[in-house]
């Protein structure tokens, strides 16, 4: 072991340790019970109580480990006692320079995890440790560490009681020897007085509550201050029978036990025995560890009882509350109808799994302690495992939409659909030590949704065929009508109807012309009457800044803000002008090469592309019928957005692809303005910041922004222009996205 302390904490600590006479003693049930409880609380297979002397680590109590005492050079506990105030936690000894070369780490029993609480006596000396160990990495919760601290104090209480009993035995032996050797009555009185004084001093100075009860009535002959404070009756209890001094004990087992000890002469010990005390007029419930030890006279007959007690109410209640809370939480989680699992470390070791998630795994009940990929290796290359590691590394929770997960059952990969959440778990220092996984299986719902989409697709196809049949019948009827139209009267009526329709069309065209005139007038106002004052503001601002900037002082800050606001207003007016022009124009129905349009746009954006180190991938694009200027506006805005809304640490990667699809393959919710048998689908994909799809309806509206102006500049009109251009060309536009995963804008144009 590296850096092993040869003599922890010096010579005084060794002397104090030997004074307890604990080394090389026999096993005791009290100590064994404490390590069993420690192992249960921390869920470890190994627990020990160790004491460290000059040369060795001596094991007082041992659970789950065949090794006995070990040299101090190989002792974990020798490091624990170096800091009497804090526990020593070693999550993976193989990675710790102090223990990596320890034989117990790299040989049997291959210890990996160690957690030790120093055993500190009332004088502040660290004598050894209470520790739990495991052969795999693990972490303890704050509650588990607190529980270990309580148990460590119990070990120290046992040591103190042990020493008190030994001191009393030695004192009694000394007293009896003095009496036997006394040759005269005066010598006997002197020895008795000295013995009584020593005995009284021992009781009064004992670090725990101690009192001497004499005779069958159990008269309180001596009681130290700790006992007086614990009983809450004051010093007047000395000289009174126990049942009078503490009357509430009369109805409790304590008095009966005193009678039994006095009659039998046998020592009685109890742990966490309940008792009620009246303190300051109020009765309260307490729990005590206590010992009743009979004292014998020279004839060997009991003449009194030495009572040593420790109030362990706080520890008992804390342990009980911890056990109740743990059991209640475990019961709730285990019986939850939805899958819940807890994974720790970057290996994602499965620390907890309720029955619902075990059923989903489908690998049998033996899952605890295995790593996530050991149990489910088929998930190694699937998105769910990358998302799980992402939560562990970042500490940021993740919630999925409906996701497909392929799980192996009986040698075949079976698709399942889940909505799942990954929640990071933090230790007391704020570090992520694990991830909690909750999920809802929605396989049946998803398959039903897919079946519904297939049915709607078949319905759409049937509707298209029906429409063709109706058109055919209409054409046949039109032919018949032409033959019947030979009648002059019907022809005249038809002419009159035609005249009326032409009149209505003329009026409609007139209204449309007026609307266009109004919009053109607005465009002129926007381009001249609004832009002209802004240009003056910007020009005067530039003059102030260049000629009088050094005289403005604090005013320079306001001038810069004014210039920024004017520039933003100018951009907004230009975008509004573009939007108004597009809104009043329809496509020119001429052939337009989208390949050429995108190439021109890339030339325009070349400086920006180089500045952000973007990569642009353009596939084969079709020629469509439309207005070339408007289509340039469409791709200018889409590509500008992809360059602007980029992630800070990732160069933009943009791809443009096109495919020809049938009308029956259009997604639900996509409704182009012009019906045709086929549509060109153009995808513009990026790896930028993305957005939540619940905002999809907002992004194509004028002035709608999902980010603040401090994050990304812009007027909120660009995507509204895109939507207007696509509608002008009889198509539709939509998008798919996830935050941090990029965005794909999908344009459908008639084929």
The per-residue DSSP string of 109-169 comes to T---EEEEEEEE-TTS-EEEEEEEEESS-----HHHHHHHHHHHHHHHHHHHHHHHHHHHH
Distance CA 518, CA 675 (A): 31
Q: Give yes or no for a contact between 352 and 368, defined as CB atoms under 8 angstroms apart.
A: yes
Check if the beta carbon of residue 594 is closer than 8 Å to that of residue 623.
Answer: yes
The 3-state secondary structure of 22-52, one letter per residue: CCCCCCCHHHHHHHHHHHHHHCCCEEEEEEE
Distance, in Å, from the CA atom of 115 to the CA atom of 428, rounded to the nearest integer, reads 15
Cβ-in-10-Å burial (0-12, 13-18, 19+) of 371 comes to middle
Peptide bond into 109 cis (omega under 30): yes
Q: Which of the residues in the chain have pLDDT under 70? A: 1-11, 67, 174-199, 202, 326, 329, 333, 455-541, 544-545, 548-549, 552, 554, 556-589, 702-716
The tokens describing 722, both together, are: 């895109």
Strands 615-618 and 653-662, sheet pairing: parallel
Extract long-range pairs of 601-606: CB within 8 Å, 24+ residues apart: 601/632, 601/635, 601/636, 601/639, 602/639, 604/636, 605/636, 605/639, 605/640, 605/643
pLDDT reported for residue 131: 96
**Hunting for tokens 């000059």 — which residue is that?**
54
Q: Tokens in use for 274?
A: 């309940």
Q: How far apart are CA 235 and CA 657, in angstroms?
A: 94
pLDDT at position 116: 97
Give residue 645's pLDDT. 86
- What's CA 420's distance to the chain center, in Å? 13
DSSP string across 627-648: -HHHHHHHHHHHHHHHHHS--T
Asked if 709 and 584 count as a contact pair (C-beta separation under 8 A), the reply is: no
Model pLDDT for residues 691-750, shown as the tens digit of each residue: 888 878 778 876 455 554 555 555 567 788 889 899 988 999 999 999 989 999 999 999
Q: Phi and psi for 86 in degrees, rounded to 5?
A: -135, 150
CB 616 within 8 A of CB 654: yes
> C-alpha distances in angstroms, 617 versus 23, 609, 641, 655?
77, 12, 16, 5
Token reading at 404: 């497909």
CA dist., res. 139 & res. 91, Å (int): 6
Which has the closest alpha carbon to 720: 559, 576, 532, 520? 576
Distance CA 181, CA 653 (A): 102
Give φ, ψ of 272 to 5 degrees.
Answer: 50, 45
Q: Which residue pairs from 216-225 have beta carbons closer than 8 angstroms and sit at least 24 positions apart in sequence?
A: 216/259, 216/262, 217/241, 217/242, 217/243, 218/242, 218/243, 218/255, 218/258, 218/262, 218/305, 220/245, 221/304
Contacts of 535 (CB under 8 A, 6+ apart): 570
The reported pTM is 0.31
Please state, as a whole number, how many other Cβ atoms lie within 10 Å of the Cβ of residue 57: 22
pLDDT of residue 668: 85
Question: Under a CB-based contact definition with an 8 Å cutoff, are residues 61 and 75 in contact?
Answer: no
């Amino acid at each position: 072991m590296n850096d092993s302390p040869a003599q922890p904490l010096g010579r005084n600590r060794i002397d104090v340790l030997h004074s307890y006479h604990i080394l090389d003693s026999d096993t005791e049930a009290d100590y064994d019970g404490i390590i069993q409880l420690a192992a249960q609380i921390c869920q470890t297979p190994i627990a020990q109580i160790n004491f460290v002397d000059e040369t060795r680590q001596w094991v007082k109590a041992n659970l789950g480990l065949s090794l006995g005492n070990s040299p101090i050079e190989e002792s974990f506990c020798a490091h624990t006692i170096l800091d009497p105030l804090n526990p020593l936690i070693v999550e993976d000894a193989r990675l710790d320079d102090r223990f990596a070369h320890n034989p117990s780490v790299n040989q049997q029993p291959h210890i990996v995890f160690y957690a030790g609480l120093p055993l500190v006596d009332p004088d502040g000396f660290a004598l050894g440790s209470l520790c739990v160990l495991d052969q795999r990495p693990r972490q303890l919760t704050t509650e588990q560490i607190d529980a270990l601290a309580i148990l460590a104090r119990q070990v120290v209480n046992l040591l103190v009681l042990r020493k008190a009993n030994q001191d009393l035995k030695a004192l009694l032996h000394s007293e009896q020897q003095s009496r036997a050797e006394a040759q005269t009555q005066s010598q006997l009185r002197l020895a008795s007085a000295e013995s009584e004084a020593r005995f009284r001093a021992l009781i009064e100075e004992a670090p725990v509550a101690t009192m001497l009860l004499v005779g069958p009535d159990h008269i309180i002959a001596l009681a130290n201050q700790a006992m007086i404070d614990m009983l809450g009756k004051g010093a007047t209890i000395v000289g009174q029978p126990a049942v009078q001094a503490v009357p509430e004990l009369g109805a409790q087992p304590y008095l009966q036990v005193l009678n039994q000890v006095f009659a039998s002469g046998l020592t009685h010990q109890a742990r966490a025995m309940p008792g009620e005390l009246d303190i300051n007029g109020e009765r309260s419930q307490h729990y005590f560890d206590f010992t009743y030890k009979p004292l014998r006279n020279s004839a060997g007959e009991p003449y009194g009882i030495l009572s040593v007690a420790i109030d362990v109410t706080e520890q008992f209640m804390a342990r009980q509350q911890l056990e109740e809370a743990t059991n209640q939480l475990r019961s709730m989680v285990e019986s939850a109808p939805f899958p819940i699992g807890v994974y720790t470390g970057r290996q994602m070791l499965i620390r907890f799994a309720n029955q619902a998630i075990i059923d989903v795994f489908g690998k049998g009940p033996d899952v605890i302690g295995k790593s996530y990929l050991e149990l489910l290796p088929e998930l190694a290359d699937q998105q769910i495992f990358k998302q799980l590691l992402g939560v562990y590394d970042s500490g940021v929770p993740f919630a999925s939409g409906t996701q497909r997960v392929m799980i192996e059952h009986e040698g075949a990969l079976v698709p399942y659909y889940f909505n799942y959440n990954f929640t990071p778990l933090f230790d007391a220092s704020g570090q992520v030590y694990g991830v909690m996984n909750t999920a809802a299986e929605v396989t049946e719902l998803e398959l039903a949704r897919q079946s519904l989409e297939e049915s709607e697709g078949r319905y759409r196809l049937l509707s298209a065929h029906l429409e063709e049949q109706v058109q055919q019948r209409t054409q046949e009827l039109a032919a018949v009508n032409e033959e019947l139209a030979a009648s002059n009267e019907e022809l005249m009526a038809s002419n009159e109807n035609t005249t009326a329709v032409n009149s209505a069309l003329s009026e409609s065209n007139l209204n449309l012309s007026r609307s266009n005139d109004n919009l053109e007038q607005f465009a002129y106002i926007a381009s001249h009457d609004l832009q002209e004052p802004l240009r003056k503001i910007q020009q005067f601002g530039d003059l102030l800044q260049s000629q009088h900037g050094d005289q403005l002082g604090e005013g320079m800050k306001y001038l810069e803000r004014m210039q920024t606001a004017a520039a933003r207003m100018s951009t907004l007016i230009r975008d509004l002008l573009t939007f108004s022009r597009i809104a009043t124009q329809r496509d020119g129905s001429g052939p337009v090469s989208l390949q050429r349009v995108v190439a021109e746009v890339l030339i325009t954006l070349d400086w920006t592309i180089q500045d952000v180190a973007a990569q642009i991938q353009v596939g084969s694009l079709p020629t469509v019928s439309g207005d070339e200027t408007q289509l340039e506006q469409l791709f200018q805005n889409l590509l500008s957005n992809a360059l602007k809304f980029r992630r800070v640490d990732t160069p933009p990667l943009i791809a443009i692809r096109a495919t020809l699809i049938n009308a029956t393959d259009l997604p639900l919710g996509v409704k182009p303005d012009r019906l045709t048998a086929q549509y060109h689908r153009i995808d513009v994909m990026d790896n930028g910041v993305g957005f939540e799809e619940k905002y999809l309806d907002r992004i194509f509206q004028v002035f709608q922004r999902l980010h603040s102006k401090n994050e990304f500049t812009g007027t909120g009109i660009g995507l509204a222009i895109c939507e207007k251009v696509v509608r002008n060309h009889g198509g539709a536009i939509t998008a798919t996205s996830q935050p941090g995963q990029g965005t794909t804008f999908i344009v459908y144009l008639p084929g």
